[in-house]
Amino acid sequence: MDNLLVFICTSQEDVIRITKKSSDYSFHRYYITTGFEINKQLDIFSETDSFLSVDEIDVKNYSALARLSLLYSIPSYENIIILKSNEMFDLAEIKFIFGKLEKGDEINRDYLLILQRQNVALNGFPEIQEEVSVLDYGLIMNRAMNQELLKEQELKIALSELMPPCNYSFEDDLDNKIKNIFLQTSSPSSKQSYGVYVNRQPDGKGVVVDYKNSDIKKYTAKLVLENFAVYLIL
């Protein structure tokens, strides 16, 4: 039984970076690229690496990414993990999840798409994203602006509405689950970038994830969750 890890790459630099980070592996790698032609002659690749180039794809259309990964890979790949963002790659975590899948265990991570070929063949593709109704969207934004308690997935909606199109850079001690929420709301094509800081006020613009009730001043918006607050300084 073979395991397949899928990377979605939008530049040659992205390919090189994630390939070097995943050089010590016990799975096969599959690169889906869009907007450029990958240089397959680089000596960083393995003979077992696979490549698929598509002219255009929404990197946040997870249903389409799931179909591409399953339908364009060879049938021997039973367990397939797709990284929603290459920034979330953690080699130890990927090995752990593949180990669970090989034992027949069910496992989920909100920053990954996890597919098992036989399960999809018998039951169809899983429902990956749920739409938020216009009414629910409005209620969530009203609670956000009133600094009422939000759930983590509601934070994603609030960030999408309040932040300009941008990318994010992160401090190392930010929780992966929270990092993934920011990455899901980012705009890969945007040239604007904001740092996400933990428990400290940045010198200029940025976002603060505060777990310690720090004295954050001069913020544009404050989003309140159960165990932390998010300050937008724009």
Whether residues 26 and 103 fall in one domain:
yes
The answer as to whether 128 is a domain residue is: no
pLDDT of amino acid 69: 93
How many structural domains comprise the chain? 2
pTM of model > 0.75: no
Domain end residue (candidates: 90, 123, 156): 123
Q: How far is CA 208 from CA 63, 73, 176, in A?
A: 31, 41, 15
Torsions phi, psi for 175 (to 5 deg) = -60, 135
pLDDT of amino acid 10: 87
Whether residues 56 and 15 fall in one domain:
yes
Whether residues 116 and 13 fall in one domain:
yes
pLDDT of amino acid 37: 85
Q: Are 65 and 113 in contact (CB under 8 A)?
A: yes
pLDDT along the chain (234 residues), means of 10: 88 90 86 88 89 86 89 92 86 87 83 88 73 69 93 88 90 85 79 92 93 89 94 95
pLDDT of amino acid 58: 81
Give residue for tokens 């040659």.
Answer: 12
pLDDT of amino acid 128: 61
Whether residues 100 and 148 fall in one domain:
no
CATH number at residue 86: 3.90.550.10
Q: Are 151 and 177 in contact (CB under 8 A)?
A: no
Q: Which domain holds residue 218?
A: 134-233
Q: Are 28 and 49 in contact (CB under 8 A)?
A: yes
